[in-house]
Amino acid sequence: MGSYANHISTVQSRFDEALQATGFDSVLIYSGQSQIAFLDDNPYPFRVNPLFKYWLPVTESPKSFIFYKAGCKPVVYLYKAKDFWHAPVNIAPAEWQDHMELKVVDNLAQVRSDVGDELTKTAYLGEQFEPMTSWQLGQVNPKALIDHLHYQRSEKTEWELENLRKANDLAAQAHVAARDAFYAGASEIEIQHAYLSAINFREQEVPYNSIIALNEHSAILHYDVYDRSAPSESRSFLIDAGALYNGYCADITRTYAAQKSGFYQELVEAMDKAEQAIIEAIRPGVSYYDLHVRMHHMVATILVDFGFFKISPEEVYERGYTNAFFPHGLGHYIGLQVHDVGGFLKSAQGDAYERDGRHPFLRLLRNVEPGQVFTIEPGLYVVDQLLEEFDGNDDFNWARIAELRPYGGVRIEDSVHVTNDGVENITRDAFAKVSKF
């Protein structure tokens, strides 16, 4: 069997297990549909239900359904409207059609009629629109079923890994184009255009708004404003941007110094070295939380080595200072979603880890296991809002911190696949294909 056939077999087995555990006979998954902007007649960009694209690589077919009854062949209802206003849905021959029964419909009532009385014993997964609100569904988005499916999704199939590698290949290609645009003196919006052009993407086709941050903008963690004019001096460039392939996400961050030597370039190199060191420490059975804490200790060492503090690295961490410079988590699961699901689940039954008070923004608390794919993305920034509570504290070297402020900060991010004895760095492998980093 090919990788997709194996993937479908795994997905069916996972759904069979989840349905049996939660008392449902079947599941109806809605692909979703675009919502209309308030007081307008234009829709927002369509984003497919991740549980729909879990089954098949169809990401641009709103108002479609998958009906799956445990142990049976799934039925795909692809919606193809009789509509002269819009381009018709293109249903090209594809491998997924060998594993599912395909029915093309032009009216959602056809789905309701076809599934019939089965709906009363069916779990519905998706947003509800008319006419589904009157369909007398068994249960809408039951938490127990969703928790079970989300827990299982942390282990990726080989087909999913292939798609993640291809998504990273695309993103790495675009990252190189963006880097070159930065060194050529481009503005933030021009860098964004270079990124999209390199892979021939529309802006709505990337998995999240690209972060294209020059100079002090690098300290804004989710900066996506894009200045139209280049600054008088470009000192630094942080790019956090991804790509999609068959619905699977790449999420990559790189930071560059305009000057290839000096304080900021050395800081970028130190963070890159630390990021790779923490990746080398990843093994099955290791706690992701422990990796996060270890990264904080490494950031504390960098802060002291670069003169930001007058005390030891141990004291920097113990006094809580690293949180002001590295406020976000070390990373997160990635797959069908950028921030993929299940990071807090202890079991398929929905038992969950509590968020840690010291590190509340960490999105992943489970132990590392083979088959998982997650990001590693340490950062170090001058965020004035977070430094306010320490104003006047003599442990800090405020003059040195002021030197970093015009550069914003540094973040490096790779996606890694956990194997039985280590990791595959999907992102670094992708960059190796397009550029020598």
Annotated binding-site residue numbers: 240, 251, 332, 377, 413
- In sequence order, which ranges of 92-187 are alpha helices (DSSP H)? 108-115, 143-152, 158-183
DSSP β-ladder status, 139-140 and 211-214: unpaired
Calpha distance 108→383 (Å, rounded): 50
- What's the N-to-C CA distance of the chain in angstroms? 37
User: CB-side exposure of 79: number of CA atoms within 13 Å?
Assistant: 20
Q: Is 116 left (phi over 0), alpha (psi -120 to 50) or beta?
A: left
The string of DSSP letters for 177-201 reads HHHHHHHTT--HHHHHHHHHHHHT-
User: Binding-site residues for Mn(2+), please?
Assistant: 240, 251, 332, 377, 413
Calpha distance 338→109 (Å, rounded): 33
Angle at 13 between CA 52 and CA 340, to 5 degrees: 45
Residue 242 pairs in a beta bridge with 251
Task: List phi, psi (to 5°) of 76.
Answer: -110, 120
- CB neighbours of residue 369 within 10 Å: 12
DSSP β-ladder status, 101-105 and 211-214: unpaired
Q: Is 262 left (phi over 0), alpha (psi -120 to 50) or beta?
A: left
Q: Tokens 């069997």: give the residue.
A: 1
For residue 190, what are its two tokens? Answer: 């021009």
